Amino acid sequence: MRSRITRRQQIIAMLVALLVVVSSLIALNSWQGGGKGGGKITANLAAQCQRDPARIPTPTPGGSNYLHTCGAEIYDAHGQPVRITGVSWFGFETANKAPDGLWARNWQTILDQLAALGYNTIRLPFSDDIFQPGARPSGINYLLNPDLQGLTSLQIMDRIIAGARQRGLRILLDRHRPTSAGQTDLWYTSTRSEAQWIAEWKFLAERYRGDDTVIGADLDNEPRGPATWGTNDPRTDWRLAAQRAGNAILSVNPYWLIFVEGIEHIGNDWYWWGGNLAGVADAPVILNIPNRVVYSPHDYGPEIYPQGWFKDPTFPNNLPSVWDRHWGYIAERGIAPVVLGEFGGRSVGSDAEGKWQRALVAYLAQHHWGFISWALNPDSGDTGGILQDDWLTVNSGKQNLYAPGLGARISTTGPGSTATGSLEVTYHANGGQTSTNSVSFTVSLFNHTGLPMQLSNTTLRYWIDGDADSTGVSVDWAALGTSHVSARVVSAHQGNQNGYIEIAFHDVILPAYGTTGPILIRYHRLDWGPFDPSRDFSYASFVTDRAWPRIGLYQNGRLLSGVLP
């Protein structure tokens, strides 16, 4: 018997059919996917997302290898998946206004060690104090770090970023505090406005535009207390603030990733400062340029605070469900990538803290998600660091726990990128020197391999336009000792150049991932008359380290890298 369909049933059926069609179209065109939720996008869409990174008006500058997101994954500009695994190196956010540990070690050797340990990213916390006029660092031993003498905090940040690049490391900038006095609940205070916060981020985004060493901005550290998510209150809604700041940054530098931390609580669901991202499910951060948001929760163990889930009788087996609920679901559902922005603890053993930390690292490994440990510094009172109190010895327990989950290096290919081969030469000029009677510059040599390298047959050539027979040269200073470096002027015609300065090394073995450190070279006319170094092929005016192909690298007289005049 034919059933009778009412008008109401027809309307319901039409609505259901419409809902099915709309859902299908959303699924077909969605950019959500990757990771464990990767089945949510087709292979064609995944390829398009990988190969069309920027979705921005202008192409990536200089072939730079900037990063972008697609669903739960991060990709480089070539469509290769990237997993960010790093450490925080704090100090810029304190009254020192410089990374900690420089009282004990040379900054370049710290970077060398980080690279050798296998991390690919450094998170650099800072406070707004570094932007204040005349901000000067403290806590630096200038006998160990002579090249930092006289620099401002921002100039030291420039050096750290350039040094990271030379070692294949990436940098994530982290606005950790409004002032060095301490952290605050919200991203603004009565003395530091939201407008100032955004303006300073735009300043940094512009300062490092074109340098793909810097992957992005961790907008604000650990919003908490009155901070809300999705309430649309402009005074407290962290999601809206993140959108305002993120869009402002991308308006001047559209290539950065925007790292967004969580808040402390959503309703009565209280969690870690910066850790609760449960609100993303209903109110994600949406920016004007897509494929830029990375969620970056913070998570800690029972030594920091005895949260209720640590007292559960099923601990630590209950922990994955806690993490899933507060932030893991974001990547599981393919909403956006998750990089755990802070975690750490002193124990990796069989006590509660150790069980928590080992369970967390296993959880991250299972899902292939990135992480940034807190911290490199041993002077983190509640967590300790990757390094022990001497700022040299590695905490083997932590390193052995983290090492199996470390991601591969993320190449940099833009201005100042590494030279081809396993050795790299960097250069900077020492101030403006046109129309003068002497010119000085600094070079360094880096070993990008895991093996020591003998430099006895290695030389550098710096090409000059002037008469070689009338030019003198000296090694004014070298980190490895002037007895291990020599320089001479050689007459040789190449293009429009009349000779070159040859820099040679004596009894030098460059350790794995090691550096010679700065070598200061000075050259002049023998009659000390004025000349213009801008005519010299190898001269450039930039005053921060970068790879410079106009200085040739030779072994046994054969050109390994660099270009000729």
Just list the catalytic residues.
Answer: 222, 342
Question: Minimal CA–CA distance to 359: which of 321, 396, 320, 308?
Answer: 320
Question: Minimal CA–CA distance to 355: which of 297, 407, 303, 298?
Answer: 303
* AA identity, residue 497: Q
| β 73-75/68-70 pair status | antiparallel
Q: How far is CA 512 from the centre of its chain?
A: 22
Q: How far is CA 243 from the centre of its chain?
A: 21
Q: Element (H or E) spanning 155, and its range? A: helix 153-166
Q: Element (H or E) spanning 359, and its range? A: helix 352-367
Tokens 């991250």 belong to which residue?
364
Cα dihedral across residues 385, 388, 391, 394: positive or negative: negative
Helix (H, G, I), strand (E, B) or coil at 17: helix
8 A C-beta contact, residue 124 and residue 94: no
CA gap 341, 373 in Å, rounded: 7
Instruction: Please state the φ and ψ torsions of residue 168, each to the nearest 5 degrees.
Output: 75, 25
| β 458-464/551-555 pair status | antiparallel
> 236-265 b/e with 16+ CB inside 10 Å = b?
bbbbbbbbbbbbbbbeebbbbbbbbbbbbb
8 A C-beta contact, residue 254 and residue 244: no
Measured CA angle at 487 (ends 483, 488), to 5 deg: 140
CA gap 410, 41 in Å, rounded: 25
CA gap 51, 31 in Å, rounded: 13
Q: What is the CB neighbour count within 10 angstroms for residue 413?
A: 16
Instruction: Please state the φ and ψ torsions of residue 559, each to the nearest 5 degrees.
Output: -70, 120
- Count of residues making up the chain: 565
With helix as H, strand as E and coil as C, how does 277-321 read? CHHHHCCCCCCCCCCCEEECCECCCCCCCCCHHHHCCCCCCCHHH
Token code pair at residue 105: 């070690």
Q: Element (H or E) spanning 427, and its range? A: strand 423-429
